[in-house]
Amino acid sequence: MTALLIVAHAPLASALLAAASHVYADRMDAVAALDIGPQDSAEQAEAAVRAALARLATPGAGGGTLVLTDVFGATPCRAAQAAAAGAPRVRLVAGVNVPMLWRVLCYAGELPLDALVERAVSGAQQGVLPVAVARRQNQAGRGLVDDQVHHHDQQ
């Protein structure tokens, strides 16, 4: 199975990990999250990403590691880029969201790393769409009842 590392501004990585474990609790052994705080320097962030990649690069993770970051060009992404540059079988995708994360976890055991990257991007894109608020049908719009409008008045 492909390992997954989420690197994002604190506390987003931990929150995404919680969302992942909510749906895919059985796959959490190959998933890690790394929150980058405002106090972390670029060097500290890169060292933390390297350490997390080393922990995930176990013999059972023969599928490689996919790193998901929140914002392209920000410290978490730059740290992941630098750490992944020298690591074999590591791919990086920026712009993580929950649909992307769930899509990755759904296919992490089935697809090779490069195909998983494509699924991650398509999952993120397909998960973002405008939603119209449906108006109640066959119900007359009911205004506020007099008691609701004058709730402050004594009766």
Tell me how far apart the alpha carbons of residues 6 and 12 are, in angstroms, rounded to a whole number.
9
Tell me how far apart the alpha carbons of residues 63 and 81 are, in angstroms, rounded to a whole number.
19
State the pTM of this model.
0.84
Tell me how far apart the alpha carbons of residues 16 and 106 are, in angstroms, rounded to a whole number.
15
pLDDT category of residue 59 using cuts at 50, 70 and 90: low
Picking from 31-40, 50-59, 89-98, 116-125, which range would have the lowest pLDDT averaged per residue? Answer: 50-59
Q: What is the mean pLDDT of residues 126-147?
A: 75
In single-letter form, the type of residue at position 64 comes to: G
What the block records as the tokens of 117 is 């990257």
Q: What is the mean pLDDT of residues 46-54?
A: 96
Question: Of 47, 48, 66, nearest to 109 (Cα)?
Answer: 66
SS3 64: coil
- Residue 11 confidence (pLDDT): 98
